[in-house]
Amino acid sequence: MLRNGLEPWHLLVVAIVFLLLFGSKRLPDTARALGRSLRILKSETKAMKDEEPAPKPPATAS
């Protein structure tokens, strides 16, 4: 059934369909927006990794 998987002409057909659906003018804008979103996601995940957990208050002896 799917012996070869995706062949180069499959990717060409998908690219043509995207071009027809979104038009050549909207594709760069969409790619730019996707790039910005990925940059924001990357910076937020880095900020979360860099954050140190809040120090716990010392336990009081009773």
Model pTM above 0.85: no
Rg for the chain, CA atoms, rounded: 24
Q: How confident is the model at residue 49 (pLDDT cuts 50, 70, 90)?
A: confident
Query: Does pLDDT of 29 surpass 70?
Result: yes
State how far the Cα of 40 lies from the Cα of 46, in Å rounded to an integer.
10
Q: How confident is the model at residue 23 (pLDDT cuts 50, 70, 90)?
A: confident
Write down the domain spans for the chain. 23-48
Query: Does pLDDT of 38 surpass 80?
Result: yes
Percent of the chain whose predicted confidence (pLDDT) is above 90: 26
Comparison of pLDDT for 38 and 53, the residue scoring more? 38
State how far the Cα of 40 lies from the Cα of 59, in Å rounded to an integer.
39
Q: DSSP string covering 11-57, please?
A: HHHHHHHHHHHHHHHHHHHHHHHHHHHHHHHHHHHHHHHHPPPPPPP
Please tell me what DSSP assigns to residue 58.
P
